A and B are shown apart, each in its own frame.
Chain A
Amino acid sequence: NAGVMQNPRHLVRRRGQEARLRCSPMKGHSHVYWYRQLPEEGLKFMVYLQKENIIDESGMPKERFSAEFPKEGPSILRIQQVVRGDSAAYFCASSQDRNTEAFFGQGTRLTVV
């Protein structure tokens, strides 16, 4: 049973480009969470999604960031017009139900040059 799969593992974008980060949850998991980790800091919650629904996006910046979890396919975190401050590790986690353990992927390290 494969774990949470994130790709790409590393992503380099020039300022102003778009970044698309993908997350395939563990088999049987329908809850997905995205977190951002800046260097030498803890993870910060961004968004919580269930299939086709955004449950909590209180940690998402108001502009340029969006997330989706379609009925088929992976969850996508999309960052438009990236800036240097977006450089970070982005982690996805998934869980089977509410109040069950969330498992993390290995992250996507985004570098904006």
Chain B
Amino acid sequence: QQQVKQSPQSLIVQKGGISIINCAYENTAFDYFPWYQQFPGKGPALLIAIRPDVSEKKEGRFTISFNKSAKQFSLHIMDSQPGDSATYFCAATLNEKLTFGTGTRLTIIP
């Protein structure tokens, strides 16, 4: 059972554009929604996170939008740069346990 669904699987965005990755969850008991960035051969690194009582959180070029009624949340990367090329995972937490989406491979082209 896929509790956190992520799309798209891969994404190509031009430098300076906006990258948007979407996730949907099923379990309304999830209480924390982080996004992780992973480079090849490395472990996931926390990028930004949100709690379900907030509809939006912005940190620099990264914004999470959260829609509790639709059980959806998304990551927006503004002014995307080649250094943002990586795999991005959404996740949801319950009882300290992270449930990950399947990942989005983002490529930023010049």
Contact = CB atoms under 8 A, between A and B. Distances in A.
Contacts of B41: 106
Interface string B84-102: 0000010000011111111
A58 B3 CA distance: 15
A107 B95 contact: no
Contact of A55 (B96, B100, B101): B96
Dominant secondary structure at the B interface: strand
Interface range on chain A (Cβ under 8 Å from partner): 20 to 34
B98 A102 contact: yes
A43 B98 contact: yes
B29 to A, nearest CB: 14
Nearest to A9: B41
B18 interface: no
Interface range on chain B (Cβ under 8 Å from partner): 20 to 34
Given A42-B89, A104-B44, A106-B43, A56 B96 contact: yes
A45 B4 CA distance: 13
B98 A35 contact: yes
A63 interface: no
A42 B43 CA distance: 12
B42 interface: yes
A102 B91 CA distance: 12
A105 B102 contact: no
A56 B97 contact: yes
Contacts of B100: 35, 42-44
B72 to A, nearest CB: 17
